[in-house]
Amino acid sequence: MKNNFFRNDIFILLLVSILLSALVAKGISLGANFYFQETLTSLTGDYGEYDLLVQVREESREEGKIQMQQMLETNFPGSKFKEAPSIGGKANFFIALPPGGKTKEIYENIDRLFSAIYGVTGVSIITEPRLSIRGVPNGAVDMLMKRFEAIDGVNFVYRLGTSIGIVLEGVDKIAAATERVENELNSYQVLEVNFPAGAEAENPVRLAGIIVDDITEKLHPTMLHYVSIDEKADEMAYAVSTMQEMRKFFLAYMTKITIYPGESGKIRKGDLMLLQGTSLREPQIGDDFLRGNIIAIVEELNNDGTAQAVITQGDSEKIKDHRIYKMEGEKVQGFVGKVEYQNPRIRLANAIEKAAGLFEKVPDLAKDTVQVSKTVRQAIDGYNNNNQRLEKTLNRMNDAVAILNKTTIDISSIDVKGVKNQLESSINSIKTLHTGLKLIQIFNADVTSSVQALEVTKNKLENFQQLLTGMDEMHDDAVKAQSVLNGLAQEGKGITEILKSINHSSAENNLMNLETKLTDIAEADLKQAATELRYMAASIPNMKDEEIYASVKLLDKLMAGHFSLGQRLQFLLDRNIALTDLKPIVIQSIGHENVGVLQADLGVIEPNIYLQVYQVLNEVQAVLAGLTALVLTLVLLALDHTSIMAALKMRRDDKKNGFFTTDKIYGMAVGAILLSTIFLLAGGGIPYVPFYMIPMIGALLGIFMDFYSEKISPIEREEILAAESLGMSFDEIMREIVIPNARPGLLQKLNRRRLLFK
């Protein structure tokens, strides 16, 4: 049982050492944390205690303080006011607003409320608990604010510039609200289109609309908005867009003068030129500007040697002589060449005048067209009737062709020529007989009746001969008629098919619809429109070239300084659309590749300074506890355990155990146990060092102390050998010799109750 006494003492030593060291480490860390928190509280107040930090110039401190107190009593009765130390020549004042003073309207106008106070240089909102979102495009702020207001635990949401503040109902809502806010921000992305210097978008608002339309047409996003500007805060962008369109209008209708220089004429950009105009005197070298002269300025030089100029004084309608002169100062320097010019306003007025004349004629033209349409419909009705009649005629013609075919066949079957020849022979015989009988009649009157009968027969045969001749001709005519009728029948059949193929019903419906529209046009009051067009035509030329030039220059001045609006376009859209799909569409919409197309987050949660300070204080507390545990472990190892490790080294049976001897194992085990348990109980922590490495560090400390154990707690070998010769055990040697001669510590105090030789 004696051998267990020393081991029990080691266990009790470790337990007492750990408990005392943990209390010391925890006390030191809590004391330091309390000190820092008190210091911070004295400077800035407790977490969430104040809502505003107002800075006033040091020289205006007292006057500003009085005015501030008066303003708070008037506008925020019940508010708390505290003066903080001055820093950097500025006096600081903390203000705690009453519950009724913490509203969206007040926070968004907080600068205006304090602007009347003398010497105020800035007002910062420090209400806690609060989340701050920065980096949100102007046009997306209002949308996000509405979404944040719907989150559980949010008291109200306010806006400061492009930042969004979210005031929470309590500290317990921070984690859940932060997660919801992050989810909202991660649901969308911002597409940025950046233009390099000199290549800014001429009209960013219009270009943004084109990009939105193209992306919507090709990718169909659920959300896509142009958010570079805010409708409430950046009306200037739209004003500049309008002015740019007005400038384009003026430039389009400004008279363009083309100068064709002569052999001696030299022109540079910016040169002033003079035209005679309505002046009666032709310009001469050295002349001053005369009433009626026209002045132009060269704006562009062409590659062909010509130049483009615009009129700065006078009007192109007054140009009579096309010769142009160069001016030097206010004097005519010399002849340059001739000019040609085009006045778009005159051309527009003429075009409008012609359009007005056309408008006046349109009603009559519509009425005439209606009559033509009705006539066409009547013709279509006639086509239907005539088509039926044509079919009947063709049927009758086919019947006639059939009869004629049969007749022709019958006539063709008779031997007309043979009958004609036989008949002619018979007629000749009868004629001979008739002549002979007439001679006999002279001598014999009885043959008179025979002569008469023979003459009648001859006449009938001659008539029959003529009939046969007609039949022959009739056969030829019948054949011809048959061919003609067949052709007519085929053509009639083709005409019938064509008429049948015409959709008369559809044609009539289309014509009736046309008549309805034309009737509306005929009844419209286009004469009033023509009158208004003529008014426009009469008004356009009233604007002179010098007025247009002055208007363009005025717009340039108004737009000066606002072209930065076109350096970046931002679009809010779905997160799931890839940049590789968006970039080609954007480049195609812009028309060139000299742009940067990037993706960005919608916004980021700004670190909370107060929370970070308290977090740092907590980290400092943990670090102090950890460092204290480390120091106490070293002290305990040095005072209480180096003597044990030195004694273990002297044991003869341990000299053959290699590197990991009993003393080293003891030092590693004790060091690991001491450091890890003290570290855990005291709440220690070392940045970037996980807890599983703490026992390893303790073990390393134990090995380190083992190397120097004999120097820290030296042991007299002669005493140990003498004790061993007397038969004393290792426990007795440790209790009676080694520990009493070791460094003073807890081990000595615990060992006194067991000493025999006091």
- Residues 6 or more apart from 416 whose CB is under 8 A from it? 468, 471, 472, 475
Is the Cα dihedral 239, 244, 245, 251 positive or negative? positive
- Domain assignment present for residue 525? The answer is no
Q: Based on the fold, state whether residues 60 and 160 are members of the same structural domain.
A: yes
514 lies in a domain? no
Greater confidence (189 vs 37) lies with 189
Q: pTM of the prediction?
A: 0.47
- Verify that 113 and 217 share a domain, yes or no: no
Residue 165, pLDDT > 70, answer yes
What residues have CB less than 8 Å from 343, skipping those under 6 apart?
255, 316, 317
DSSP 553-566: HHHHHHHTT-GGGG
* DSSP three-state, residue 577: coil
Using only C-alpha atoms, the chain has a radius of gyration, in whole angstroms, of 60
Overall average pLDDT of the 232-259 stretch = 67
> How far apart, in whole angstroms, are the C-alpha atoms of residue 530 and residue 571?
45
Residue type, 527: K
Integer Cα distance of 298 and 271 in angstroms? 5
- Taking a C-beta distance cutoff of 8 angstroms, is the pair 597, 193 a contact? yes
Phi and psi, residue 76, nearest 5°: -130, 70
Phi/psi-derived region of residue 92, left when phi > 0, alpha when psi is between -120 and 50, beta in every other case = beta
pLDDT given for residue 678 in this prediction: 92
Distances in whole angstroms, Cα of residue 226 to Cα of each of 8, 178, 233, 373, 561: 78, 27, 14, 52, 22
- 361 and 500, same structural domain? yes
The partner residues of 500 in beta bridges, in order of sequence, read: none
Which of 546, 698, 689 lies closest to 630 in space, CA to CA? 698
pLDDT of residue 414: 52
- At residue 626, the pLDDT reads 87
Same domain, 385 and 502: yes
- Both 355 and 491 in a single domain? yes
- Give mean pLDDT, residues 477-485: 56
Per-residue confidence at 135, pLDDT binned at 50, 70, 90?
confident
Same domain, 267 and 322: yes
Identify the residue with better confidence: 426 or 300: 300
Model confidence at 2, pLDDT cuts 50, 70, 90, reads: very low
Does residue 526 form part of some domain?
no
Summarize the confidence of residues 162-174 as an average pLDDT: 86
Q: Report the distance separating Cα 331 and Cα 272, nearest Å.
A: 10
Helix (H, G, I), strand (E, B) or coil at 152: coil
Whether the per-residue pLDDT at 64 is higher than 90: the answer is no
CA dist 22 and 683 (Å) reads 9
| Cα 715 from Cα 696, distance rounded (Å) | 29
Alpha-carbon distances, residue 556 vs 260, 452, 561 (angstroms)? 29, 131, 10
Q: List, in sequence order, every residue forming a beta bridge with 87; answer none if it has no partner.
A: 90
Classify residue 38: in a domain, yes or no.
no
* For residue 700, pLDDT beyond 90: yes
Q: Is the pLDDT of residue 82 over 50?
A: yes
Q: Are residues 479 and 378 in the same domain?
A: yes
Return the pLDDT at 443: 46
Higher pLDDT residue, 524 or 435? Answer: 435
What pLDDT band is residue 747 in, cutting at 50, 70 and 90?
confident
108 lies in the same domain as 121: yes
**Residue 381: half-sphere exposure toward Cβ, Cα within 13 Å:** 7
Decide: 595 and 199 in contact? Cβ < 8 Å: yes
Flag whether 530 is in a domain.
Answer: no
pLDDT band for position 256 (cuts 50, 70, 90): confident
Residue type present at position 125: I
Contact 201, 207 (CB under 8 A): yes
Lowest mean pLDDT among 85-89, 310-314, 527-531: 527-531
Taking a C-beta distance cutoff of 8 angstroms, is the pair 236, 563 a contact?
no
For 362-396, what is each residue's pLDDT tens digit? 666 666 666 666 666 666 665 555 555 556 655 65
Residue 191, H or E segment: strand 188-194
Average pLDDT, the chain: 76
Residues 583 and 527: their CA atoms lie apart, in Å, by 52
The reply to whether 727 and 621 lie within a common domain is: yes
703 pLDDT above the threshold of 60: yes
Which residue in 343, 342, 297, 274 sits closest to 543, CA to CA?
343
Ranges 59-73, 253-267, 393-407, 516-530, most confident: 59-73
Tokens of 689: 């060092």
Angle between helices 609-636 and 694-707 (to 10 degrees): 30
417 with 398, same domain: the answer is yes
In a domain, residue 578? The reply is yes
The reply to whether 655 and 706 lie within a common domain is yes
* DSSP at 300: E
At 676, the pLDDT band (50, 70, 90 cuts) reads very high
Q: What is the average per-residue pLDDT within 650-663?
A: 63
Higher pLDDT, 70 or 757: 70
Q: What's the one-letter identity of residue 123?
A: V
pLDDT at 524 over 90: no
Position 440 pLDDT exceeds 60: no
CATH value at residue 162: 3.30.70.260
Surface-to-core class of residue 731, CB atoms within 10 Å of its CB (0-12 exposed, 13-18 middle, 19+ buried): middle
Res 694: pLDDT: 92
The CATH number of whichever domain residue 321 belongs to comes to 2.40.30
Q: How far apart are CA 267 and CA 255, in angstroms?
A: 19
120 and 83 housed in the same domain: yes
Q: What is the rounded CA–CA span in Å between residue 733 and residue 735?
A: 6
**Domain tally, the chain:** 5
Cα separation of 728 and 739, whole Å? 15
Token digits of residue 637: 């190892």
Q: Is the peptide bond before 261 cis (omega within 30 degrees of 0)?
A: no
- The answer to whether residue 745 sits within a structural domain is yes
Helix (H) or strand (E) holding 530: helix 526-539
**Nearest of 678, 758, 748 to residue 713 by alpha carbon:** 748
Q: Is the pLDDT of residue 755 over 60?
A: yes
Distance of CA 744 to the CA centre of its chain: 78
Of 130, 122, 108, 102, nearest to 232 by C-alpha is: 108
Average pLDDT over residues 434-463: 58
* Look-up of token digits 């958010």: 227
Q: In the chain, what percentage of residues exceed pLDDT 70?
A: 64
**270 CB contacts (<8 Å, ≥6 apart)?**
297, 298
pLDDT tens digits, 600-649:
888 888 876 666 666 666 677 888 888 899 999 999 888 888 888 888 87
Instruction: Confirm whether 146 is domain-assigned.
Output: yes
Q: What pLDDT does 156 receive?
A: 94
Last residue within a domain, chosen from 342, 371, 401: 342
* Mean pLDDT in residue range 435-457: 58
Confidence band (pLDDT; 50, 70, 90) for 157? very high
Confidence of residue 233 (pLDDT cuts 50, 70, 90): very low
Mean predicted confidence (pLDDT) in 537-562 = 67
CA dihedral 272, 273, 279, 283 (to 10 degrees): 110
3-state secondary structure of 349: helix
pLDDT (0 to 100) of residue 371: 67
The segment with the largest mean pLDDT, out of 285-289, 292-296, 734-738, is: 292-296
**pLDDT given at position 671:** 92
Q: Is the pLDDT of residue 565 over 50?
A: no
Residues 606-616 pLDDT 10s: 876 666 666 66
CA dist., res. 508 & res. 378, Å (int): 9
Q: At what angle do helices 662-682 and 694-707 cross, to 10 degrees?
A: 140
Rounded-to-integer distance, Cα 67 and Cα 613, Å: 32
Instruction: Collapse the DSSP code of 170 into the 3-class scheme (helix H, G, I; strand E, B; otherwise coil) and give the result.
Output: coil
Going by pLDDT thresholds of 50, 70 and 90, the confidence category of residue 699 is very high
- Cβ–Cβ under 8 Å, residues 468 and 416: yes
- Its domain, for residue 331, covers 255-342
DSSP-derived letter for residue 261 is: E
Whether residue 457 is predicted with pLDDT greater than 80 in this model: the reply is: no
**Per-residue model confidence (pLDDT) at position 696:** 93
How far apart are alpha carbons 356 and 533 in whole angstroms?
6
